[in-house]
Structure 1
Amino acid sequence: MLITAAGLFPGRQAAIAAGPVVQPADKVMGHGDAASIVVARVNGAKINMAQLMDRIYDLTMERYGRREITPFLAQKIKDEALNQLVLEELAYQKAAQSIKISSSEVKKVTKAQIKAMGGKKGLQKYLRANSLKNRAAFETQIRRMLTVRDYIRKNIAPKIKITDNDLKTAYARGKAYFHAPENVQVNKILFFGDPNNPRTIQHIMKVRSEIIKKYNNHPEKLKADGTFVVQQNIHLNKVADKELYEAAKKLGRYKISKPIKMNGNFYLVQLTGYKPARNKSFKMVKNYLKNELISRKKQALLAAWRQQLPKGAKIEFVDLKP
């Protein structure tokens, strides 16, 4: 839905606070086309079955893909879809009280949208998919989207204020994210053989070959024979494990090193994880933090606005007969 694209319902989370008034259906379910079946009225404006079916499909694909949906979950999705449509209608009605969109702007945006769709064929495909009769219906949808968008820009966006103190507080809270040492994680194989015996190296190379060829780079599958021990997902210390640390950094992920001698023993290491050091100053992340805080405050303001929309509105859910 284009109104959703305007940023009114991020994540499409919506709930209706006002209690519904149930009315008889305008048409019995299963008769007439979906666009003519009324499922709800919002201050007299109708929401039809085609809109509801489109939104149910969108929510289902967005959250569950093609997984099997239980009857309970299907009802939950249907209720949420209908609630969203009602809130979108309320938002448009509220915005339209003070926002007027010129025909020239509607035509300009419509033209750009059609071009983005790939021209007339793309438009026709969109119209069919969204149960819209013609280009005029599409332009009406565009006008509604622009109306809500401009209302948000005029009445909600100006309320978003971010101070330097807000940014510094956010930076302090995110210290662990912005500052972190380099991290090298490995599977470590320690060998017990005499490091001065040439046969020890031969044995290590044999084990290395088994890991790669026989066990497809899975050292944990090696059969213990008392000559080695496998330690999984070890975080190496840059100082205490210097030789292993430096060798592991140069490996591709899950690759096996050649024998490494450290503290009188031989090892093989397999790189399982690597994170470079992070040391980002306040100046480096200031714009990022500002955008994050603006986004959060905008969502909070929109959520508060959505909660107010149903107050005083006449919302009727139609009781559809099977």
Structure 2
Amino acid sequence: MKVKTPWILFSFALWLCLIGTLHAQKAEQQTAAAGKAAIVNGVVIQEEEVNRGLHYQQQRLLATTGMAIRPDMMPEARRMVLEELIDRELLYQQSRKKGVVIEDAQVNEELDQLKKQYPNEQAFREGLEENQLTEALVRAQIKMTLAVRKFVEKEFGANIEVSESEAKGFYEANPNYFKVPETVRLSQIMIKADAKSDPTKKAEARKTLGDLQKRIQKGEDFSILAKDFSQDASAAQGGDMGTIPRGKMPKAFDEAAFALKPGEVSSIVETEQGFHLIKVHDKKPEKVVPFKDVEEKIRQHLVSQKMRQRVNEFLNEVKKTAKIERISTKGAD
């Protein structure tokens, strides 16, 4: 069975100079020397580009895992960013040899999508100015990205097949990928008192919440009290925190929430942020997504893997004759 070839994304490289460029911080730019990081068949990759790519990777990691790149891992992270940029440049050069053409209308469409991430045109312009960029530079990077993508699709995306047995094998070999964790939909009332608060302030915070607890026990509406007294951002929604998977909240909070049945309110729970009353509205047990529900996504994933393998093999051959000078991967401190 053939699967429609997905638009391959080479880690972050294809959008590196779009989203990453416009959201790079000034501090990152200031640390970027105006020097060269590498030269690929006469084309210079600037240190500034590596810094932008590294910043984007940092932001991406924070957004997806909540973790930052450790200082001891920074040299390797920087090296990987540079290698991605080198690979992208080689693929772009090959796309030009093959006569890949990107129309202005395609560039305009991508640029419009980028602009939509800003409140208005003025905010977009200010973003460019802050980062010492021009629309012409951004358009050039979009055109490069699209050329690489078109080249890869045409040269390596054809005749990739993934059998049902391959997809099923992946499903069975990676059961954790297809588990949906236990979840709870809840509301809370929080009175702040961090770990550094003096005992008197903590006692006052606990008493305040204790008084609210008594009012709830007498029948007052939890959501109204949360809206009036909670010191958490969820107060505006009557304390509603939505649906939360197990393990995503502080341990004491997590254990208390998942011990409750729908409709129940917890006793007072203490965390580093303060004191909490938790009300559970709904609970769903952990489950495994059936194979048929994820089969198509698995196939797409395996197609991407196979395409990436073809691209890597091609790049290895190209690099045998390419002139690549890696000048610097500094900036790890």
**What are the Cα deviations for residues 143-170 of structure 1, in whole angstroms up to 9, with x where unaligned?**
0011011112211221421234434555
CA shift, 1:120, in A, is: 2.3
Q: 1:156 to 1:125 in 2, by over 3 A?
A: farther
Q: Secondary structure of the residue that 2:321 maps to in structure 1?
A: coil
Contact 2:58 2:68 in 1 (8 A): no
Q: Gaps (5+ residues) in structure 2?
A: 1-6, 14-29, 183-212, 214-256, 262-282
Give the residue type in structure 1 aligned to 2:140: T
The farther-off stretch of 91-100 and 114-123 is: 114-123
The answer to whether structure 1 residue 311 and structure 2 residue 316 are counterparts is no
CA shift, 1:83, in A, is: 2.0
- In structure 2, the residue matched to 1:49 is 47
Give the residue type in structure 2 aligned to 1:297: K
Q: Secondary structure of the residue that 1:104 maps to in structure 2?
A: helix
- In structure 2, the residue matched to 1:86 is 86
TM-score for the superposition, normalised by structure 2 = 0.50
Separation (CA, whole Å) in 2 of partners of 1:287 and 1:254: 36
- In structure 1, the residue matched to 2:296 is 287
Q: 1:35 to 1:309 in 2, by over 3 A?
A: farther
Q: 1:167 to 1:63 in 2, by over 3 A?
A: closer
Rg larger in structure: 1
Q: How do residues 13-52 of structure 1 correspond to structure 2 at under 5 angstroms? A: 36-52=34-50
Separation (CA, whole Å) in 2 of partners of 1:320 and 1:169: 40
- 1 or 2, which has the higher helix percentage? 2
Q: 1:122 to 1:161 in 2, by over 3 A?
A: farther
- In structure 1, the residue matched to 2:113 is 112
Q: Gaps (5+ residues) in structure 1?
A: 1-5, 13-31, 184-212, 214-251, 257-272
- In structure 1, the residue matched to 2:306 is 297
The answer to whether structure 1 residue 253 and structure 2 residue 258 are counterparts is yes
Q: Secondary structure of the residue that 1:316 maps to in structure 2?
A: strand
Separation (CA, whole Å) in 2 of partners of 1:307 and 1:42: 14
Q: How many residues align?
A: 211
CA shift, 1:139, in A, is: 0.7
Greater relative contact order structure (CA < 8 Å, 6+ sep): 1
Percent of aligned positions that are identical? 22
Q: 1:97 to 1:126 in 2, by over 3 A?
A: farther
CA shift, 1:50, in A, is: 1.5
Separation (CA, whole Å) in 1 of partners of 2:55 and 2:70: 12
Q: Secondary structure of the residue that 1:39 maps to in structure 2?
A: strand
Contact 1:43 1:313 in 2 (8 A): yes
Q: Secondary structure of the residue that 1:10 maps to in structure 2?
A: coil
CA shift, 1:292, in A, is: 3.6
Q: Secondary structure of the residue that 2:260 maps to in structure 1?
A: coil
- In structure 1, the residue matched to 2:156 is 156
Give the residue type in structure 2 aligned to 1:40: A
Q: How do residues 45-84 of structure 1 correspond to structure 2 at under 5 angstroms? A: 45-63=43-61, 69-70=70-71, 72-84=72-84
The farther-off stretch of 116-125 and 145-154 is: 116-125
Contact 1:35 1:51 in 2 (8 A): no
- In structure 2, the residue matched to 1:103 is 104
Separation (CA, whole Å) in 2 of partners of 1:61 and 1:167: 32
